[in-house]
Each structure stands twice: as C-alpha cells, then as structure tokens.
Chains A and B, each alone.
Chain A
C-alpha cells in the first residue's frame, strides 16, 4: 500500500462495530507483537465475523505465517481436528465481542515445517467428503485486485464468507484502495441486509446468483430500491440471463459484472455486457491477465496466471500442475457466445440420459408463479436417478395448480427424462454455506 493511510476513514463496519484505518493498523501491530512467536509458522485462523479477525489477518501477513483459513462457524472439535490434519502450530479464534487487538488460541504439538513463502490456504467447500485445500500466496490472491485511479474510497459490502476465495477477493479489492468493508450481521434476513446496504450507501456488492435471487425475492422492495449501488458483481455459480435481467431491472443505474473464478484457478474473466456466458473470442487469445481458456468435451478448461500454487500438502487432494485445468463447468457454444450449462458433478443421469439441472431450472423459472427453483437428482434403484425439483411459489395459484402448470410447461419444453417427476413446494431454496444451490444427492 503505497498511498498514505487515511487514518480516520472507516476501514471496517462489522454489524454495528466500526474500526478506522488507524485503529485497524494499530490493532494489527499489537497482534503482530502478541503473536510474534508464530512468525513463519503454520497458523489456523477461525474467521469469525469479528473486527479482530481482519486485524489478525494483516498481522499474520506481516509475520509471514502460513495462514490456513477456517470457517468461523466450525465447532471447536472440528476446528481442532483440522488443526491436527493440517499440522498447524497454532489455531487462533477471534471472538466477536472482544477487543480488536486481542485474539486467543490453542497451540498444537505436531506442526509441519513452513512453506517458506507466507502462504494462504483456503479450504474449499467441496461437494463430498473432505474439503480441498488450495495453497495461494498474498501475491497470487492480490493479482486480480484493481487499483482505482481516483482517491475515492470504495464502499464494499461483503456477502461471502471471508475465509473463501470470493470473500478474500472482495476484502483485497476493497482494501487495496483503502476503502470501507461493510459486513452485515451474521444470519440476518434479507430485509435487514437491504437495510444495511441502504443505510451505509454501499457502492459495490458481490454475491452469488442465488444470494441475489434471495435478496430480490424476499427483501423489502422499497428498502432495496433505495440502495443504489454503483456496481453489482455475481459469480460462483451459473449466471443466467434471467438473474442478469432481474438485476438490471431492479438496479438500472448499476454496472453489472459477472466474474468467473475458482478457488484453484483464481479469477479467470469478467463480463459486463449483461448477457449470460462470455464472448467466444475469449477462447482464442490469452487475456491481458494471463488467463487462457478452451473447451474439451463440452467442459471448460483454463490455464490461469492467478492460479494457486498447488494443493496444501496435508489436504486429501494432490496433483496440480499449473497447466490446463478441467474446471468441472460444462459449456455450450451458441454463435459468438459461450454459455454455461452447469457443473459436471450436478449432471443427473436418468437411465443413461444426461440432464443438466440448470437447463431444467431455466424452463421452470419461466412458469408464472415460480419465484425460485432448485433441480436435483433423486436416487432411483430402477433408473439410476430421476429429476426432482423444489419450487418457491408466489402463492397466487394453489400448490396443486402450480404443479400442473409446471408439468404442462415441462411437457412442452423438455424431453421425458428431463422432466421433474417430484415437485416439492418450499418456502425458500436451501443454499450451501458458500451461498450456492445444493444439487448433490448427499445434501
């Protein structure tokens, strides 16, 4: 950070607690001293939504520690198990109501040697079994952050968990410009989030399409309309035309940006023409960022300069060559556009026929009365899997009538094996901890 620190400007607003840039720096300095014995050692950080979590992150960077980021909601037992699996020297646990310069923790006896390069390990949510652990450096994480030309302080709202790649990107993008990061109270409802956005006149908000759908559906309209962000970013899941259109309608003045990134590959590209997918010309030439993309067997492959260094040596995953990586994202070329059709692992296999949940969801979303939907596979001993869905209804039609409407639409637009045979009506679509639709059988 080469520009002068704006001492009195808010750096962080976490629920109703504030910290200026001077206070954040001072807290980080105190924590650096308190935890100086952790310099260049492997340290876990349970990233709870506390001011001290952020100060500690800076302290650990200054100490050149190998930081392993853990979800702040993990139970003590689980966190300790991970500390042992990852052979940490210490596990630090910020608490929400305490002094931003005070963080306690536990030491562990079986620490592994440091990487020698002040790494940051991100545990990905993963869909089954053990999480994967991606090894980044501060350099690889900060590469995509853009410095603003002017000296205006950007006001960002954080919707992602800060221990995940997207959350770190928001943090770094905000802080590299000495902006202010606004973090809403954990677990608060959509109207409270909208209220928080409007009260703090948040300018930049990044969230998954599912989070945006949740906000648009359930937040108080008037409050949401009074928030006028400059820029809305979406990523982490398939961004379809329907959510882009909804956001454009609701926030006509905002710039809408779709960012495609993965924990392993980092940020790959961004598109701001409010059209789903990306221009097929992105496939031909490496981007100025050093990201190359191609398609093989309908799957997107990427080679990225923003990529992680590899998997953490103590994670269950191995083998990352930094070369072309299969993203697990399926795509389809339509003219001069490449469109995402969903995750390979979400594909439902109905008696040997492949079904992409995202494509079925497109059809279901077009049915009047369907506010939101989740399509997933249901186990069948006879067919392997059958297509099932959950729908949020606007309650204008009765549940049975809506099911009939949905069946009729599917009859017209989908092949027999694609049609959902189980239609549940729910109050809300369940999302994972990374705010993504859960489609796997094992949810």
Chain B
C-alpha cells in the first residue's frame, strides 16, 4: 500500500465513523461508491482533507478524472504538480 493510499483510507474511515456508521474495512481496491455510505459532500470533504495532508488538490483546475477505487484516487496525488 502506498502512503497516499494509506492516508485516503484513514481519512475515509474517519469520515464514515463521524457519520455514526460502523468503521468499514477498506483496501486500495475498495470502490468509492454508495456502498460505502458516502455522498458527494463526503467526497468533497475527503478531497479537502487530502489537500491538508499532501498540499495538493488534483481537482482544483480540472474536471474530476475517472476514479473508481481508493487506489485510483490516491494515484492522483502521486503525480507531481
């Protein structure tokens, strides 16, 4: 698991927990979709928190890319700005 994948996972667990839902079992292959109990604002929060950790916001200047899994999202933060 890459450090960014690890960060995404721990932030997601926090977000889900703070909604009063049970902490999910997440892996890099987990699909980022409604099965996680996430809505669009939760995703927005995830992106803000990732920016706080990494200093990067891959969504700032471009339309969101195709992201299916946690790994896909984490990969966006690997690219140098």
Q: Which residues of A contact B (CB under 8 A)?
A: 350-351, 378-383, 386, 404, 407-408, 411, 416-417, 421-422
B18, B19, B20, B43: which contacts A382 (Cβ < 8 A)? B43
Give the residues in chain B near A417, CB-CB below 8 Å.
Answer: 41
Does residue B48 face the partner (Cβ distance < 8 Å to A)? yes
* CB-nearest residue of chain A to B62: A381
Q: Are B48 and A380 in contact (CB under 8 A)?
A: yes
Complex: A383 Cα to B19 Cα, angstroms: 19
Q: Pull 27 A–B residue pairs with CB atoms less than 8 Å apart, ordered by A.
A: A350-B41, A351-B41, A351-B44, A378-B48, A380-B44, A380-B45, A381-B57, A382-B40, A382-B43, A382-B44, A382-B59, A382-B64, A383-B40, A386-B41, A386-B44, A386-B45, A386-B48, A404-B18, A407-B20, A411-B20, A416-B39, A416-B41, A417-B41, A421-B41, A421-B45, A421-B48, A422-B48
Give the residues in chain A near B18, CB-CB below 8 Å.
Answer: 404, 407
Question: Measured between C-beta atoms, what is the minimum distance from A28 to chain B in Å?
Answer: 56
Give the residues in chain A near B47, CB-CB below 8 Å.
Answer: 380-382
Number of A-B residue pairs at CB separation under 8 A: 41
In the complex, how many residues of chain B place their beta carbon closer than 8 angstroms to a beta carbon of chain A? 15
Give the residues in chain B near A416, CB-CB below 8 Å.
Answer: 39, 41
Question: Measured between C-beta atoms, what is the minimum distance from B10 to chain A in Å?
Answer: 15
Give the residues in chain A near B1, CB-CB below 8 Å.
Answer: none
Determine the main DSSP class of A at the interface with B: mixed
Question: Measured between C-beta atoms, what is the minimum distance from B57 to chain A in Å?
Answer: 5
Complex: A408 Cα to B59 Cα, angstroms: 30
Complex: A404 Cα to B14 Cα, angstroms: 12
Question: Measured between C-beta atoms, what is the minimum distance from A364 to chain B in Å?
Answer: 15
Give the residues in chain A near B44, CB-CB below 8 Å.
Answer: 351, 380, 382-383, 386
Does residue B60 face the partner (Cβ distance < 8 Å to A)? yes
* CB-nearest residue of chain A to B18: A407
Question: Measured between C-beta atoms, what is the minimum distance from A387 to chain B in Å?
Answer: 9
Complex: A351 Cα to B40 Cα, angstroms: 9
* CB-nearest residue of chain B to A423: B18
In chain B, positions 57-73 with a C-beta closer than 8 Å to chain A are: 57, 59-60, 64
Complex: A416 Cα to B15 Cα, angstroms: 13
Complex: A421 Cα to B18 Cα, angstroms: 9
Give the residues in chain B near A351, CB-CB below 8 Å.
Answer: 40-41, 44
Q: Are A381 and B41 in contact (CB under 8 A)?
A: no
* CB-nearest residue of chain B to A416: B41
Question: Measured between C-beta atoms, what is the minimum distance from A381 to chain B in Å?
Answer: 4
With A411-B20, A421-B45 as known contacts, state yes or no: A381 contacts B40, CB within 8 Å.
no
Give the residues in chain B near A422, CB-CB below 8 Å.
Answer: 45, 48
* CB-nearest residue of chain B to A404: B18
